[in-house]
Every structure is written in C-alpha cells, then in structure tokens.
Chains A and B, each alone.
Chain A
Amino acid sequence: MKFLKRNIGRIVLTGLVLVILFAWFARPPFSWTFGLLILVGAFGALVTDANYAARRIFSLIPVLLIVSFVVFSLMSSLPGDPALTILGAGATAESIAQLNQELGFDQPFFNRYGNWMGDVIVGDLGTSRILREDVADGISRSITPTLQLMAYSLILAVLIAVPAGMYSGYKNGTRQDRIISYTMLGFLAIPNFVLALVLVLFLAVGGVTIFGVDIGFRWLPAARYVPIGAGWSDHLKHMLLPSLSLAMSQAAVFMRLLRSDMIGTLRLPFIDLARSKGLKTGRILFRHALRPSSFTLITVMGLSVGSLIGGALITEYVFTLPGVGSYIFTGIFKRDFVAVQGAVLVISTLFIVVLTFSDLLYLALDPRLKHQSEAA
C-alpha cells in the first residue's frame, strides 16, 4: 500500500505511456500531441519528480476537456445548415434531412459532443465532406510546414535575441544598448505581415527604384513551399523569408526580456565575485549570468507559441505555404466546420502541451523552484 502511495506518479505515468502507445498507432496527428504529452511527462519525471510531473499531466485533462468543449460548441453553434452547405443550394429537403441524420446532426448537442469526443480519443477527427478527405490525414499533412515554420522562427528569434539581449544588457545605458533597444522596439512595432511584405519587396520581388537606383534584390524566392525531401538547402532557402518575418517580433520580445533580466542579474553579488576571481567577461556572461537571467524568457517562450501560431497563420497566407493556417482558412471559407474544429483542437492541444513543457523546463533550470516543488 505504501509502495503504491509513494510511487503513484510512476505507476500512473507507466499506465499513461501504455494508453498513449495504443493511441499512437491509432491516428497520426492526435497521437502526436499525445506523444508530446508523454515526452513532456517523461521529461518532467526526469527533471523534477514523477509524482509532480504526473500531477501536471493530469491537471491538463480538465483543461483539454474545456478546450474541446469550447471548440465544439463554438463550431456547432454556427449559423446555417451544415448539410445544406455540403449539398449545395439545389438540395431537396429530404436529402438534407437524410444527410443530417447520417451525420448525426439531428441528435441533441451533448450526444453529438459525446460521439465526437469518443472518436477524438482514439484519434479520429471525423471526415470532411467538403474537402473530401479524412480530417486527421489533412491535418497531419499540413501540420508539417507549420511546425517547421514555427520551429525555424523560434530558433531564429532565440539566435537573434540572446546575443543582442546579453550584449545590450551588459552595455546597459550606453549608446550601443540604446541602438539595439530602439531597433528591437521598432521590430516589435512591425506587424509580421508587414515585415513579410517588406522583406518580399526588397529581397525577392526587386524592382524598387528610388531616384533611379534599383535597391531591390532578387536573392530569395518569394513564395512556394519546398519539402525537406526536395533538398535541405532549397527547403531552407524557401523557408527563410517566412521564418524571418515571423521571428523578428518574437526576437524583440525575447531580447527585451533577456536584457532587463540580464541587467538585474549583473547587479547581483555573485557576478562581482566572478569578476573579482578574474574571469573573462564572455565567460561571466555565458556561464554565470545567462542561466539565472533566462527563467522568465523560457516561460515567455512557451507563451509565445500562442502568438507564433497566430503569426504562422498569416505568414502562411502571405507566402502561400500549405500549412495548418491555410487548412483552417480553406475550412473557414468553405464553411467546413469539421475540418476547422479538428485543426483548432489539435493546435490548442499542442499549445497547452508546449506551455506545460516550458513550465517543466523552467522548473528544471531553476533549482530553487525544484526544491519548492519537492517540498510541496
């Protein structure tokens, strides 16, 4: 009994892993999120303790239920008859009624929700009549460019933000600091779709002439998605502009955070100690100051996935990438709510999982918090 009580987290996690292994083989996109969930759980179990990680994972269940309910009720409360949309304007009353019955739309709201959830648990997000394909397949096909875009942007943003933030935090109050800070403030104020257009204008379209001087370049392709399979260099070349336009505002947010935390950290006595030991500035900055300054940054990075998703949607629209954004868009314009609700659910789940992940990472990095969670 005592063994059970002490190891409840590990037992539950093992059970969860088994259930998810089953789900993994059921359907791709949803099992991805489930797979991520396990990964997060395993990571959490590694860096904190299994009980805490299990508690975090299980506290996600009501949240996921709320999300699914919100998404479902939002979508099922749309005006217009879905059967009519599917069949078109020329449909007869009988065929509409028949299709409604077939799709289960004549059932009460909670029955429909129950059925849908039952399917979703095993990874079946339904079949879209309008796009004529399985929603799970559609999402798993289109989620790749989106995830790539988001990942590249996040990496780019960090690559830009960390050195810039550290340098201007270190040079706090000087001219260099002000130049970097104001530049970043500027990038914060440029909406990503505007940045995308400007980048396309100057780096892809070309032909911009000011006083007869051509200042445009035709270095990079403006649109079109090239999968990794077609060659890495080509792929990255095509993804550079979209990622850059998405990354800059995030980089600005990250940089500003890191800068202010860095300033705070550099005032702490242990930095003085490191300095008095005669360590080099670079070593002090990277080895001693970066980690304690990056706690807020990591939480915000988790939260920024929300705005990344929103931004990715628009960026895909500008660069005509076949991602989830475009998928949702097609769904919305064709009024295909089965597809939209599936995609929204997958993205929201992803978002929640990433948030939890960043929380656990935060715990792993900050030993003080880990201690607290253990004491609790």
Chain B
Amino acid sequence: MIKLKLRKRTREVDETSRTNNSLGLMFWAAVSFLAVLTFCAIFADILPFKNPTQTFKGFNKNGPSGSFLLGNDGVGRDILSRVVYGAQTSLVIAVVGTSIALIIGGSIGLAAGYYRGKVDRLLTIMLNTTLIIPPLILFISLILFLDPAAERRMFILIFTFALLSIAPIGRVVRANTMAWSEREFVLAAQTIGARNGRVMFREILPNVAPSLISYSLIVMATLIIVEGAVAFLGLSVPSPTPTWGDMINKGRPHLDVAPHITLMPALSMFLTVLSLNFIGDKLQEKFESKAAIL
C-alpha cells in the first residue's frame, strides 16, 4: 500500500517539473493562433478575403461551405471576412487601450511604489477613484452621452478602456515595485549616486517587467471581452464596421435555425481571449519559477 503511494508521488513530481521547464505545446498553439489572427487582421485588405459588407443574395443563413468557409450571416455576408475585420477593431482597441494604460498606470505605479509616503498616498487615491464607479456603467454613460457622433466612438472606447485599466495595472506595478524596492540593490544604486529615475528604470523596472507583461496580456483579454459586451449592446463602433459583439447580437434572432452566425464570432472571441489568458498565465508561471531561483 505504501509502495503504491510512493510510486504515484514520483509520477506527480515528474509531471510538474515537465510543465515548469518548457512552455508546452498549448502555449505555442496559442501564440500561433494569435499570430495568424493578427496577421490576417492587419493585412485583411491584401489577403483574399471577401468584402465584409457585401451581401450575397440567396446565401442568407447558409452554413459553412466551400466558398464561405464559416458560412453566411442573416443578410448573406461572409462570416469569415467579418470575423477577420472584427478582429481589427477588437485588437486595435485592446492593444492601444492596454498600451496607454501600461504607460500611464506603469509610471504611476512605479512612482508610487518607489517614492512611497505622500506621493504614494496621492497616487493611490487617484488610482482608487477610477475603481469606484462600476466599469460598464461609466462606460455606457460616456459613450452614449458624451459623443453620439459615431465616428469618434473609437476614441472614446480607447480612452475609457485605458482609464479603466490604469488602476489595475498601476496597482500591480506598485505592489511589485514596493517588493523590489526592499532589496538592497536599490539602496546600493542610490549609494553609487544614481538618480531616482535611473534607479526606477534601470534597476526596478527590468525586475517588474515580466509580471507586468503577463498581467497586461490578461488585461488585454479582459478588454476584448468588455469591448465585445459593449458591441453586443450596440454601443461600440457603429454598424457597417464589423465587430464580434455586434455579430453575436445580430445572430440572436436566428439562434434556433442558424446558430453558426452567433457561434462563429463567439468562437473566435473565445479563442483569442483564451489564448491571451493562457499565454499570460504560462509566462507568469515561467517568470515566477525563475524568480524563485533568484
């Protein structure tokens, strides 16, 4: 009996060490999915995709076929090209929103964690204020009321997304910076005569960066979901431009007869978010196990 248990244990240990050492096949699958999606989204105009706004008469609600790989939607448009063009919107909003939040939230968190004291208190209040109002509500009010003009939706979306992601990113960076500032090499750098800016960017930031990167991937995934939700409510980029959320919403009436209209964009969104989360997770794991050695 004891022998049996012992054997089992060793196998478990083996498996853990294996997953820790390499990133695994799933990781690379996720990366390549994202790479293909990004490539298609950027070069959608050059690649042989059909016009996403063109309606093909007689193909309404058709399932996947040879000429329409993912089928046609309620009015006969090609779902595949709409998914690809929808990826454009989602990716641009998520990437730009996260980058802005990364720059602002990152520097706020770095300063708050490094200087502490009054600076920290002030910046933390700033961060927490943006946490107060439930995100989606802030957002809908902003979109609907501030600028009904549809062309500028993208600006507001990015602005609000950035605003909403500043606080979480800032908090993560702040906590990490605080932990790393405890280390004596920070004091050592000050003793050498390095300026605060140099200490922050040369000594602390490289140590904070790994967890920051994996976290921002997860933020990006969240932004894609929220953008989907907003588009689902019909408040994202207006109609002729395809968005995943809008496609899902438009497919709802045909759910019983042609579920693929809803499921295809939902699936692409699911895979994108899943890949981002998975990559973020794996990187985090990798960095953590590395940090444990240090």
Direct contact of A and B (CB under 8 A): yes
Chain A residues proximal to chain B, CB less than 8 Å: 63, 66-67, 70-71, 74-75, 77-79, 172-175, 185-186, 188-194, 197-198, 200-201, 205-208, 303, 306-307, 309-311, 313-314, 317, 328, 332, 337, 340, 344, 347-348, 351-352
Which among B134, B255, B256 is the interface contact of A351 at CB below 8 angstroms? Answer: B134
In the bound complex, do residue B274 and residue A189 qualify as a contact, i.e. CB atoms below 8 Å apart?
yes
In the complex, the answer to whether B266 meets A194 with C-beta atoms within 8 Å is: yes
List residues of chain B with CB within 8 A of the CB of A67.
Answer: 132-133
Whether B137 pairs with A75 at a CB distance below 8 angstroms is no
| Interface window among B36-44, B141-149, B172-180, B206-214 | B141-149
Contact indicator A197/B255 (Cβ below 8 Å): yes
Q: Does B238 contact A (CB under 8 A)?
A: no
Point out residues on B near A: beta carbons under 8 Å.
12-13, 15-16, 19, 129, 131-138, 140-142, 144-148, 221, 225-226, 228-229, 232-233, 245, 248, 252, 255-257, 259, 262-263, 266, 269-271, 273-274, 277-278, 281
Given A186-B274, A197-B248, residue A344 in contact with residue B133 (CB < 8 A): yes
Q: Tell me how far the C-beta of B234 lies from the nearest C-beta in chain A, rounded to whole angstroms.
A: 10
The one of B129, B148, B226, B266 in contact with A197, judged by C-beta atoms closer than 8 angstroms, is B266
- Could you write out 14 A-B pairs with CB less than 8 Å apart? A67-B132, A74-B141, A79-B146, A173-B13, A185-B274, A185-B281, A193-B229, A193-B245, A193-B248, A194-B266, A198-B263, A205-B255, A310-B137, A352-B132
Rounded to whole Å, the gap between the CB of B129 and the closest CB of chain A is 6
What distance in Å separates the Cβ of A272 from its nearest Cβ neighbour in chain B? 15
For A194, the chain B residues whose CB sits under 8 A away are 228, 248, 266, 269-270
In the bound complex, what is the Cα–Cα distance between A190 and B133 (angstroms)? Answer: 24
4 A-B pairs closest in CB distance? A310-B136, A173-B16, A189-B274, A189-B273
Measured between C-beta atoms, what is the minimum distance from A259 to chain B in Å? 12
- Decide: B133 and A70 in contact? CB cutoff 8 A: yes
Output the residue of B19, B221, B225, B278 with the most chain A CB within 10 A: B225
Pair A78/B262 contact, Cβ less than 8 Å:
no
CA A355 – CA B19 in complex, angstroms? 37
A240 to chain B, nearest CB (A): 19
Chain A residues with CB below 8 A from B266, complex form: 191, 194, 197-198
| A317 B132 Cβ-Cβ under 8 A | no
Chain A residues with CB below 8 A from B145, complex form = 74-75, 77-79, 332, 337
Query: CB-nearest residue of chain B relative to A62?
Result: B125
Q: Are A173 and B19 touching (Cβ within 8 A)?
A: yes
CB-CB under 8 A from A186, the residues of chain B are 270, 274
Q: Is the CB of A189 within 8 A of B132?
A: no
CA distance A313 to B263 in the complex (A): 22
- Which B residues touch A70, using CB under 8 A? 132-133
**Whole-angstrom CA separation of A347 from B257 in the bound complex:** 38
